[in-house]
């Protein structure tokens, strides 16, 4: 049997299973049953095989973590997009209950207890109850817990329901695939922040072309991930998903698709500039059409490039549509046309193995790189100072070289040996030069003393840059996208030092880091600096991170020729070799 249009992909199935688990937990039944759903969700997400054939051949129970009862639920979800269990639970429990689970410091057990004792059904109701001092009266809750809950709600309100880029891309792809399966949909695109590849995404925006837009909205509202319909009007739908994320769809007639996609992709400042350009060309760019001034018939547009062309502009890739000078550059014809693309990357840089804090062996990582079609991979585990991360002393480093040599005999992909060396507090690197010089690649990163003051930190980094063996500046500013601010330092001064010593800047693709950020990449470009796109992978799966690195590089206007790992293995090695 092949898949019918109703089939749901494994991520949507996993999301539904996870929601069932949470709702069961809140309801307070058998805790093992609830956990079985969470485990099942993880198993489905991690499936190596194809979900459709596992369902069709009745082989789901062969997957560890999936029993007969769960298999039946998964099959139902996959085949019909619905789950009777989930629908029953949603009917039994108030729709706001899952939002409560998102409050920091509030476990599911506590949500369940508060729901039973006070009848709270949403974050707003919990907030009111806590503010009125009613939470402290519930058995097992005191004044301190009540205060913690209020703090948690404040933190949640401040944060909103933003997703990291990789989560947003996975979620939007699942929604896109769901819509694409509708027989009404002629074309569907992800727009908004996810398409611009911003580091965090507040809501998912989709644009669909259809002859019957309302039927598409109907299909959208019927997705298994939908927890609540926020708004629906004509061709527009707005929903809240089970994880608290918001998603919007605008379905339009096929002839309106291109202008709508342009409007919903760019930042509003970018879009305003386009409208102004249209005026200058005696055109009117309205919500869904580009029309000659005073005319009635819209200009027929084959694709977005055609729209930009009509406005007298070069095509502006989505990642650049931020109003940071791209419209002016596109008008002048100076927008780079050879921005880095995923397919340009030929080697995976910055990969950890189980020698330090990675999950997989050298050989497993190498095979992972090979599976991604790469020509080479650099093995760069931590150096001795990073003892918390299992940093390698000289003996273990040399043992790893033997291991690399053995793995090399079994795989095609070239293995380059390297290290991610700590930049010590005084700006020195961690291994002696005689060791560093035997490596192909040295990435130098800060892992400790993040809180130095600006002067001290700038000195530390400038000193490091001046070392002849300093070739790649790893996760430069040490930020975590949502949780850790960048280190304090005078970035431009350090970039000057990097340019003088011809060190390259890493664009770290680890989705929690994405460092350095695009605005600094542009400053680095102005100085003629070179870049490496890295994975900072600690597992085979995370080798994919290079894609997020490419996205950041594009946001920073980085061109193919500026990226060292677009070179072949030998040329790359020559470009980064740590030599005196
Ligand atoms: Zn690191
Ligand atoms: Zn690392």
pLDDT in tens, 303-348: 999 999 999 999 999 999 999 999 999 999 999 999 999 999 999 9
Look at residue 46 in the predicted model and tell me its pLDDT: 78
pLDDT at 405 over 60: yes
pLDDT at 93 over 90: no
Q: Between 451 and 279, name the one with better pLDDT.
A: 279
Mean local confidence (pLDDT), 456-466: 96
Mean local confidence (pLDDT), 353-359: 94
Q: Which ligand is nearest to the CA of 473?
A: 1
Mean local confidence (pLDDT), 533-552: 97
Ligand 2 centre to CA of 420 (Å) is 6
pLDDT at 532 over 90: yes
Look at residue 104 in the predicted model and tell me its pLDDT: 75
Q: Which residues surround ligand 2, an ion (CB under 5 A)?
A: 420, 536
Ligand 2 centre to CA of 394 (Å) is 18
Look at residue 1 in the predicted model and tell me its pLDDT: 33
Q: Which ligand is nearest to the CA of 536?
A: 2
Ligand 2 centre to CA of 198 (Å) is 22
Ligand 2 centre to CA of 465 (Å) is 18
pLDDT at 146 over 90: yes
Report the greatest alpha carbon distance in the chain.
78
Ligand 1 centre to CA of 338 (Å) is 30
Q: Look at residues 87, 64, 84 and name the one whose alpha carbon lies nearest to residue 76.
A: 84
Ligand 2 centre to CA of 350 (Å) is 6
Q: Which ligand is nearest to the CA of 534?
A: 2
Ligand 1 centre to CA of 430 (Å) is 13
Ligand 2 centre to CA of 392 (Å) is 13
Structure confidence at residue 392 as a pLDDT band (50, 70, 90):
very high
Mean local confidence (pLDDT), 498-507: 96
Ligand 1 centre to CA of 402 (Å) is 23
Look at residue 7 in the predicted model and tell me its pLDDT: 59
Above pLDDT 70, what percent of the chain?
Answer: 97
Q: Could you tell me whether strands 376-382 and 414-422 are parallel, antiparallel, or unpaired per DSSP bridges?
A: parallel
Which of 237-241, 286-290, 540-544 is least confident?
237-241
Is 32 exposed, middle or buried, given 0-12, 13-18 or 19+ CB atoms closer than 10 A?
Answer: exposed
Which of 147-156, 257-266, 513-522 is least confident?
147-156
Residue that is written with structure tokens 């040399």 in the block: 398
Q: Which ligand is nearest to the CA of 352?
A: 2
Structure confidence at residue 91 as a pLDDT band (50, 70, 90):
confident
The string of DSSP letters for 59-105 reads -GGGSTT--HHHHHHHHHHHHHS--HHHHHHHHHS-TTHHHHHTSTT
pLDDT at 284 over 90: yes
Mean confidence (pLDDT) of the chain: 92
pLDDT at 500 over 80: yes
Ligand 1 centre to CA of 420 (Å) is 7
Q: Which ligand is nearest to the CA of 418?
A: 2
Q: How many CA atoms lie within 13 A of 31 on its CB side?
A: 3
Contact present, 55 and 74 (Cβ < 8 Å): yes
Which of 159-173, 250-264, 350-364, 410-424 is least confident?
159-173
Q: Compute the distance between CA of residue 312 and CA of residue 290 in angstroms, rounded to an integer.
A: 13
Which of 93-97, 452-456, 575-579 is least confident?
93-97
Q: Compute the distance between CA of residue 223 and CA of residue 323 in angstroms, rounded to an integer.
A: 34
pLDDT at 159 over 60: no
Q: Compute the distance between CA of residue 468 and CA of residue 442 in angstroms, rounded to an integer.
A: 11
Q: Between 195 and 42, name the one with better pLDDT.
A: 195
Ligand 1 centre to CA of 416 (Å) is 18
Ligand 1 centre to CA of 223 (Å) is 39
Ligand 1 centre to CA of 382 (Å) is 8
Which of 28-42, 301-315, 481-495 is least confident?
28-42
Look at residue 5 in the predicted model and tell me its pLDDT: 42
Q: Between 145 and 100, name the one with better pLDDT.
A: 145
Contact present, 462 and 417 (Cβ < 8 Å): no
Q: Which residues pair with 187 in a beta bridge?
A: 209
């Amino acid at each position: 049997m092949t898949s019918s249009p109703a089939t749901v992909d494994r991520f949507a199935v996993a999301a539904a299973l996870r929601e069932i688990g949470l709702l069961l937990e809140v309801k307070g039944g058998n805790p093992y049953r609830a956990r079985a759903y969470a485990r099942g969700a993880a198993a489905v997400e991690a499936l190596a095989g194809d979900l459709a054939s596992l369902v069709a051949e009745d082989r789901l129970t062969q997957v560890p973590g999936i029993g007969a009862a769960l298999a039946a639920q998964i099959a139902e979800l996959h085949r019909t997009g619905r789950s009777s269990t989930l629908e029953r639970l949603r009917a039994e429990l108030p729709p706001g209950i899952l939002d409560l689970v998102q409050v920091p410091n509030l476990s599911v057990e506590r949500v369940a207890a508060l729901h039973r004792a006070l009848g709270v059904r949403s974050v707003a109701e919990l907030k009111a109850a806590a503010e009125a001092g009613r939470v402290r009266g519930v058995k097992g809750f005191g004044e301190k817990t009540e205060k913690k809950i209020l703090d948690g709600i404040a933190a949640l309100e401040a944060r909103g329901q933003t997703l990291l880029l990789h989560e947003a891309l996975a979620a939007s792809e699942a929604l896109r695939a769901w819509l694409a399966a509708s027989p009404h949909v002629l074309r569907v695109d992800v727009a908004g922040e996810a398409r611009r590849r911003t580091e965090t995404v507040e809501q998912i925006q989709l644009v669909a072309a259809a002859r019957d837009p309302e039927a598409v909205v109907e299909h959208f509202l019927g997705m298994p991930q939908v927890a609540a319909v926020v708004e629906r009007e004509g061709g527009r739908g707005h929903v809240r998903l089970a994880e608290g994320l918001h998603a919007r769809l605008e379905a339009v007639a096929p002839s309106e698709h291109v202008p709508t996609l342009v409007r919903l992709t760019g930042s509003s400042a970018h879009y305003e500039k386009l409208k102004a350009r249209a005026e200058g060309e005696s055109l009117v760019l309205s919500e869904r059409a580009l029309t000659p001034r005073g005319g009635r018939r819209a200009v027929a547009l084959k694709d977005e490039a055609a729209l930009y062309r009509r406005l007298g502009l070069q095509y502006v890739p989505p990642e650049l549509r931020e109003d940071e000078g791209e419209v002016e550059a596109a008008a002048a014809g100076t927008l780079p046309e050879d921005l880095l693309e995923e397919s340009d990357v030929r080697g995976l840089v910055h990969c950890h193995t189980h020698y330090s804090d990675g999950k997989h062996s050298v050989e497993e990582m190498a095979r992972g790189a090979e599976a991604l079609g790469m020509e080479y991979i650099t093995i760069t585990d931590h150096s001795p100072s990073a003892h918390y991360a299992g940093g390698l002393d000289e003996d273990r480093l040399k043992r790893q070289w033997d291991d690399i040599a053995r793995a090399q005999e079994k795989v095609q992909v070239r293995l380059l040996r390297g290290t991610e060396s700590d930049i010590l507090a005084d700006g020195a690197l961690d291994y002696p030069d005689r060791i560093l010089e035997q490596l192909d690649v040295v990435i130098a990163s800060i892992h400790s003393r993040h809180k130095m003051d600006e002067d001290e930190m700038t000195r530390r980094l400038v000193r490091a840059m001046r070392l002849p063996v300093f070739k790649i500046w790893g996760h430069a500013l040490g930020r975590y996208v949502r949780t850790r601010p960048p280190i304090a330092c005078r970035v431009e001064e350090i970039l000057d030092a990097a340019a003088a010593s011809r060190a390259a800047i890493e664009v770290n693709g680890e989705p929690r880091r994405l460092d350095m950020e695009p605005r600094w990449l542009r400053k680095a470009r102005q100085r003629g600096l070179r870049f490496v796109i890295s994975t900072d992978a600690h597992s085979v799966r995370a080798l994919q991170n290079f894609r997020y690195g490419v996205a950041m590089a594009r946001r920073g206007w980085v061109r193919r020729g500026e990226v060292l790992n677009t070179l072949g293995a030998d040329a790359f090695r020559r470009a980064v070799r740590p030599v005196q």
